[in-house]
A and B are shown apart, each in its own frame.
Chain A
């Protein structure tokens, strides 16, 4: 049994800010949804189902907010699903939406992911003590710093690699009017001069905390054919993998779940050499060092060699494998939306609609998300052309 083809036909996102006090949650979502629907040239009448994703409800303080948001989502009378897979949720949500089309169940699905962290206190939400589980109380940076330290030790990477990533992503963000951080003066030197937060992670190597949302319209091959959309982003493959938070044999620097997911993804998309066949990648990099780490995990580089691509400038927009052309998670991080932003940016690139951060001639792009303690992975490959294999 083979699945049906699906394509992204509309992408819409909000302006991301530390606090979007000008809109409610519903208003924030509609900002993204209305842009995506306009881009897709559809109205709510054309939408068969809605799939919504976000990270923990405690981040806003509303239990199952999709229930109150039903009207704003245009959902009454339709199926509505709510996905939550930690930080990877934006990616997983897009994949669930795609599967509704790939299964032949629906023609057009609206999917949206958001976080309005300013409505509550994410640090508090992450700090509730749990029975029988060792509290970390170090924030995400404190949790991931040992992974980064371990990566540096294993790979022998020079210690300024993280600063190269941060400077690149912040410069890329200047080309993206939706990006939260717009810091024109960020350079490798200025990043290295910023305060050390969780050694070896410096302040300027961390992501901001943002309010924001993104929406996609995903359509079947028939629905695309009937539309006036000339540049759909065809979905060539989707994969999700999970592994436990703690297990003695886990490799948290290069997790097997990520390696398995990407290996399956490349196979599904008919890609033999990712670095040669993928034109650009939006990778979930909330702390700068995760760029070289995930380049290896995804198979763009051999283990230990990811940093060499970064150092050589190959991950810049004009490089061999551009990474995070939009500015990435390092420049905007509405957590529940961050994964779908990666998926949406990949779609924009192959649609040729990425504006100033467009990679010239991008035909195949990767969207990637991870979550939890580097244990949940979601990724897709989109292409300007229909899959040929």
Chain B
């Protein structure tokens, strides 16, 4: 028996490169302001704060510390941080609300991939003793996964190209998408190979971003004065797989499958899937058992903007926006982390009065 919790506010920025070198505080202040405008709430209505970010992306230790300044945290707040995509910060916050110790939470994430060479930075996620010294980079690892899928017949190049074309076409109307515009599968296949068998458009653009979300229990004291829309969380699960690539079948996503089964995916009409590579959407769709009648990534998805440590939370936010707008009755959002879909999270939500 879980406590009824709704997503009631979401705000984000994503771009190829933040102008200048803004601090976390500068990124987050206007985003928080948008949440106050959406919900009519203020800082005092928030019971718990949780963020997701990465020191390695920032190139420094304790990078999340100064982000607390954006809250205006005197008087002090109850606050925590995960070194993961902010989708997992949302999970920690949701758990905290489930304990009954708090009633509402503001969750945020931020990351500036453009400050370094992302594919090399991510190679530091591998086994430090045996793999990292080989500098196995993130794009090449994804290419190995795509190759495994192609050679097994799990999917083919034209299906991958269809994913790219649909994403970029859908993103044309998304102001914050980085790579976008009406595109056909033929346009995609005409591109040269980048990391065989991946073309550049098969890989998410390197992106900077920040985002924030407010969730609340139905019995929160300030619930009555909320002016925003609500997307009620119906399932929230995540699972991890082995780090060693040779100890899992890269063509499938067992952790997505089990997280989806536990969260309950039946009846969803929309899915925002965090697939930074085109073939990964095909693997995820299969793992979740989504039919062709389920709309996938109407925002354009991660192939059109993939701000590290917020892209997963963005999927949840984009799905919530569809529910708020009445364009989805029951939506699924997914976040991934680690090389070749190692760790996956599934959240389901529904429209309800």
37-86 of chain A: CB within 8 A of chain B = 55-65, 67-71, 75-86
- The answer on a CB contact under 8 Å between A240 and B80 is yes
How many pairs of residues, A versus B, come closer than 8 Å at their CB atoms?
195
Most A C-beta atoms less than 10 A away, residue of B49, B95, B129: B95
A84 B82 Cβ-Cβ under 8 A: yes
B37 to chain A, nearest CB (A): 23
B56, A63: Cβ atoms under 8 Å? yes
How far, in angstroms, from A62 to B100 measured CA to CA in the complex?
A: 35
- B64 contact set on A, CB distance < 8 A: 84
Within 8 A of A (CB), among B104-157: 121-122, 124-129, 132
Q: Which of A63, A102, A130 gathers most chain B CB within 10 Å?
A: A63
Q: Binary interface profile of B, 21-61, with partner A (CB < 8 Å = 1, else 0)?
A: 10100000000000000000000000001000011100111
Query: Is there contact, CB below 8 Å, between B240 and A75?
Result: yes
Min CB distance, A2 to chain B, in Å?
A: 6
Contacts A63-B54, A70-B342 given; does A83 touch B81 at CB 8 Å: yes
| A128 to B115 CA separation, bound complex (whole angstroms) | 14
Q: Which residues from B are CB-within-8-Å of A76?
A: 240-242
Tell me if A68 and B128 are in contact (CB < 8 A): yes
CA distance A249 to B73 in the complex (A): 12
Q: How large is the interface on B (under 10, 10 to 19, 20 to 34, 35 or more residues)?
A: 35 or more
Q: Is B190 an interface residue (CB 8 A)?
A: no
B173: interface (CB < 8 Å): no
Contacts of B95 in A (CB 8 A): 96, 99-100, 103, 105
B124 touches A61 (CB 8 A): yes
Across the interface, do B66 and A67 meet the contact criterion of CB distance under 8 Å?
no
Asked if A243 and B74 sit within 8 Å, CB to CB, the answer is yes
B88 proximal to A (CB < 8 A): yes
Distance A100 CA – B62 CA, assembled complex (angstroms) = 25
Is there contact, CB below 8 Å, between A257 and B76? yes
Are A242 and B240 in touch, CB under 8 angstroms? no
In the complex, what distance in Å separates the CA atom of A246 from the CA atom of B239? 38
Q: Are B80 and A67 in contact (CB under 8 A)?
A: no
A242 in contact with B342 given A71-B244, A79-B240 (CB within 8 Å): no
Q: Given A103-B98, A243-B73, A70 and B68 touching (CB < 8 A)? A: no
A382 smallest CB distance to B (angstroms): 17
The docked-state distance in angstroms from the alpha carbon of A97 to that of B332 is: 26
CB–CB A67/B54 < 8 A: no
With the chains together, A76 CA to B81 CA distance in Å? 23
Distance from A69 Cβ to chain B, minimum over Cβ atoms (Å): 7
> Which residues does chain A contribute within 8 Å of B223, judged by CB atoms?
none
| Interface check A133, CB cutoff 8 A | yes
Instruction: Return the chain B residue nearest A75 by Cβ.
Output: B240
A89 to chain B, nearest CB (A): 9
Q: In this complex, which of B49, B92, B99, B237 has the most chain A Cβ atoms within 10 angstroms of its Cβ?
A: B99
Give Cα A372 to B81, complex, Å: 13
Q: Which single member of B62, B78, B237 contacts A79 (CB below 8 Å)?
A: B237
Contact with B68, one of A1, A25, A60, A242 (Cβ below 8 angstroms):
A242
- Measured CA separation A244–B82 after assembly (Å): 18
Residues of chain A within 8 A of B237, CB atoms compared? 79
Residues of A within 8 A of B83 (CB): 57, 64, 82-84
Asked whether A195 is an interface residue with its Cβ less than 8 Å from the other chain, the reply is: no
Offer 20 A-B interface pairs, CB within 8 angstroms, sorted by A: A1-B217, A58-B60, A60-B128, A62-B125, A65-B128, A67-B240, A70-B243, A77-B239, A78-B239, A79-B237, A80-B238, A83-B80, A83-B83, A84-B82, A105-B95, A130-B66, A241-B76, A243-B75, A246-B69, A247-B74
Question: Which A residues are within 8 Å of any B CB, using their own CB?
Answer: 1-3, 24-25, 55-65, 67-71, 75-86, 92, 96, 99-100, 102-105, 119, 125-126, 128, 130-133, 239-247, 249-250, 255-257, 260-261, 372, 375-376
Q: Which B residues are closer than 8 A to A by beta carbons? A: 1-3, 21, 23, 49, 54-56, 59-62, 64-66, 68-69, 71, 73-84, 88, 91-92, 95-96, 98-101, 121-122, 124-129, 132, 217, 219, 237-244, 247, 254-255, 258, 337-339, 342-343
**Those 7 A-B pairs whose CB atoms lie nearest each other, nearest first:** A56-B61, A103-B98, A1-B100, A257-B76, A242-B79, A63-B124, A63-B56
